[in-house]
Amino acid sequence: MEITRWAFKPETLAQPPIVFGLLRHTPVLLCTDVLKSAVERADLLGFDFQLLWSSETGGVAVNPGPPPTFGEAARELQERDRRKREVALVRLAQAS
């Protein structure tokens, strides 16, 4: 089964947990903006967030293209992570 657009019932997600999952042949982890904001504030590495659903617009069409590990998308992710690592190293140096 392939998902082309995510859909949720807003009333069931009125107060969702910060992280939740869906059981399928491949488990999927989903999170709310609470986790996304915390990760971004802390400049944590290794996270890639994709908007799947919004209370204003509903489900967002899923891009069936290749994962962002190829081509220009991969270079952008690597550059973003490199900059975050540099900032983290500066913070560590200042703390010691």
Q: Determine contact, residues 48/81, Cβ cutoff 8 Å.
A: no
| pLDDT tens, position by position, 15-63 | 777 777 776 666 677 888 888 899 888 878 778 788 877 777 777 666 6
- Whether 78 has a pLDDT exceeding 60, the answer reads yes
Give the global pTM: 0.54
Domain map of the chain by residue range?
A: 1-63, 65-96
Q: Name 19's Cβ contacts closer than 8 Å, sequence gap at least 6.
A: 29, 30, 31, 32, 35
